[in-house]
Structure 1
Amino acid sequence: MISDGMAEVLRSLRLGELRAPARACTRALGAAGVTLSLLVGPERSAEPLWSHPGLSGRFEELQFTLGEGPGPDAVRTGSPVVEPDLDRVRPARWPALLPAARELGVHGVCCFPLGIGAIRIGVLTVLCGGDRHLSRQQYADAVALSAVLTSTFLSGEPRGEVGGVQGFDPGVRQPSGLRRAVVHQATGMVSVQLGVTMEEALLRLRAHAWGSARSLGEVAEDVVARRLRFSDAFDDGSGPHSPDGGKG
Structure 2
Amino acid sequence: MADVLRSLRLGGRGNPAQACALALRAEGVALSLLVGKDRAAEPLWCYPEISVRFEELQFTLGEGPGPDVVRTGTPVTEPDLGRVRPDRWPALLPSAREMGIHGVSCFPLSIGAIRVGVLTVLSDGDRRINEQQWTDATALAGALTGAFLNGDRRWSGGGSAPAPGTFLEWPTGLHRAKVHQATGMISVQLGVSMEDALLRLRAFAYSSDRPLGEVADDVVVRRLRFQDDDDDDNYDNGNDANDNDGMDDIGGPYSPDGGKG
TM-score, with normalisation over the residues of structure 1? Answer: 0.88
1:146 aligned residue: 141
The Cα of 1:158 is off from its aligned counterpart by: 5.0
Question: Does 1:173 pair with 2:177?
Answer: no
Q: Deviations over 1:94-132 (max 9, x none)?
A: 000000000000000000111222222210000012314
1:236 aligned residue: 230
1:32 aligned residue: 27
Selected match of 1:204 from 200, 203, 210: 200
2:190 aligned residue: 194
Q: Do the aligned partners of residues 95 and 153 (structure 1) sit closer, same or farther apart at CA in structure 2, a change above 3 Å counting?
A: same
1:96 aligned residue: 91
For residues 239 and 123 of structure 1, the distance between their equivalents in structure 2, rounded to whole angstroms, comes to 38
The Cα of 1:237 is off from its aligned counterpart by: 7.1
Question: Does 1:120 pair with 2:115?
Answer: yes
For residues 112 and 16 of structure 1, the distance between their equivalents in structure 2, rounded to whole angstroms, comes to 22
Counterpart contact for 2:181–2:220, Cα < 8 Å: yes
Question: Does 1:52 pair with 2:47?
Answer: yes
Q: Do the aligned partners of residues 239 and 101 (structure 1) sit closer, same or farther apart at CA in structure 2, a change above 3 Å counting?
A: farther
The Cα of 1:194 is off from its aligned counterpart by: 1.6
For residues 208 and 181 of structure 1, the distance between their equivalents in structure 2, rounded to whole angstroms, comes to 18
Q: Which amino acid aligns with 1:80?
A: P
The Cα of 1:159 is off from its aligned counterpart by: 5.1
2:9 aligned residue: 14
Q: Do the aligned partners of residues 119 and 196 (structure 1) sit closer, same or farther apart at CA in structure 2, a change above 3 Å counting?
A: farther
Structure with larger Rg: 2
For residues 239 and 153 of structure 1, the distance between their equivalents in structure 2, rounded to whole angstroms, comes to 45
The Cα of 1:177 is off from its aligned counterpart by: 2.0
Selected match of 1:155 from 128, 140, 150: 150
1:3 aligned residue: none
Q: Deviations over 1:157-198 (max 9, x none)?
A: 3559xxxxxxxx671332222221111110111111122221
Counterpart contact for 2:108–2:117, Cα < 8 Å: yes
The Cα of 1:216 is off from its aligned counterpart by: 0.3
Counterpart contact for 1:49–1:172, Cα < 8 Å: no
For residue 249 of structure 2, give the secondary structure of its aligned residue in structure 1.
Answer: coil
For residues 248 and 182 of structure 2, the distance between their equivalents in structure 1, rounded to whole angstroms, comes to 18
2:249 aligned residue: 245
For residues 176 and 58 of structure 1, the distance between their equivalents in structure 2, rounded to whole angstroms, comes to 21
Tell me which moved more, 11-20 or 221-230: 11-20
Question: Does 1:131 pair with 2:126?
Answer: yes
RMSD after superposition: 2.1
Unaligned runs of 5+ in 1: 1-5, 161-168
Counterpart contact for 2:152–2:168, Cα < 8 Å: no
For residue 110 of structure 1, give the secondary structure of its aligned residue in structure 2.
Answer: strand
TM-score, with normalisation over the residues of structure 2? Answer: 0.84
2:241 aligned residue: none
Q: Do the aligned partners of residues 240 and 137 (structure 1) sit closer, same or farther apart at CA in structure 2, a change above 3 Å counting?
A: same
For residue 62 of structure 1, give the secondary structure of its aligned residue in structure 2.
Answer: helix
